[in-house]
């Protein structure tokens, strides 16, 4: 791999790690209803696990409620079962046409637990980025060892990889701080 390929690969992989972290944050309960809370729940639909957003329309008619309207009315029971077995901890109300989820407001203790969880998720995302940096540095060291790049190119490449890491760690921190602030404000 040449220098540009190593840097591009490193950047792409760190971007994926950041996106995974962002998706995890979207699924966290903040006391406010959002379709992202239930988007990725897997429903056993005709024998195959299917994301809820592919089998139903998800809306939030008010800040404390999520309404799930299946495209196929026969899937209502399967959706209800999937919600009950998920880790949301909410009981679905099924009226025969739609499922409603009431989002309870969070207590101060629950908020603190959620903040702790966000910090851990953020640290996990940063560790993933650091592992990607390590892989990028290995590629530079191999390039230098195989004489496909000079010592200066290797050193400069490692410096650039460190810069990329710093940028993505900062982004992870920003998203974690934003979500923490959102949870603590309510």
Reply yes or no on whether the pLDDT at 27 is more than 80. Answer: no
By CB atoms closer than 10 A (0-12, 13-18, 19+), residue 33 is buried
Neighbours of 103 (CB within 10 A): 20
Q: What is the pLDDT averaged over residues 127-155?
A: 93
Whether residue 179 contacts residue 25, with contact meaning beta carbons closer than 8 Å, is answered with: yes
Neighbours of 144 (CB within 10 A): 18
DSSP state for residue 63 in the 8-state scheme: T
Reply yes or no on whether the pLDDT at 19 is more than 80. Answer: yes
Q: Which of 48, 50, 22 is nearest to 36 (CA)?
A: 22
Q: What is the pLDDT averaged over residues 116-129?
A: 94
Q: What is the pLDDT averaged over residues 21-36?
A: 79
Set out the domains of the chain in order of their start, with CATH numbers.
3-26+107-185 (1.10.132.20), 35-102 (3.30.1360.40)
The per-residue pLDDT for range 57-108, each reduced to its tens digit, is 999 988 888 999 999 888 899 999 998 888 777 788 988 889 998 887 777 8
Distances (CA, A) of 87 to 40, 83, 154, 158, 186: 12, 8, 46, 41, 22
Reply yes or no on whether the pLDDT at 134 is more than 70. Answer: yes
Task: Determine the 3-state secondary structure of 86 from DSSP.
Answer: coil
The per-residue pLDDT for range 147-175, each reduced to its tens digit, is 899 999 999 999 999 999 999 999 999 99
């Amino acid at each position: 791999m040449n220098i540009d390929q190593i840097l591009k690969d490193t950047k792409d992989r760190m971007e994926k790690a950041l996106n995974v972290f962002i998706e995890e944050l979207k699924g966290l309960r903040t006391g406010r209803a959002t379709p992202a809370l239930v988007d990725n729940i897997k429903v056993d639909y005709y024998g195959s696990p299917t994301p809820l957003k592919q089998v139903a329309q998800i809306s939030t008619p008010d800040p404390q409620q999520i309404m799930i309207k299946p495209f196929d009315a026969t899937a209502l029971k399967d959706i209800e079962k999937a919600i009950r077995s998920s880790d949301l901890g909410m009981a679905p109300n099924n009226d025969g046409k739609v499922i409603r989820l009431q989002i309870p407001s969070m207590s101060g203790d629950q908020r603190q637990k959620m903040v702790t969880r966000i910090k851990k998720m953020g640290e996990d995302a940063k560790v993933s980025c650091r592992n990607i940096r390590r892989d990028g540095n290995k590629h530079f060291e191999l390039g230098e060892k195989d004489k496909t790049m000079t010592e200066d190119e290797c050193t400069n490449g490692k410096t650039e990889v460190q810069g990329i890491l710093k940028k993505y760690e900062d982004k992870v921190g920003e998203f974690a701080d934003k979500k923490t602030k959102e949870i603590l404000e309510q």
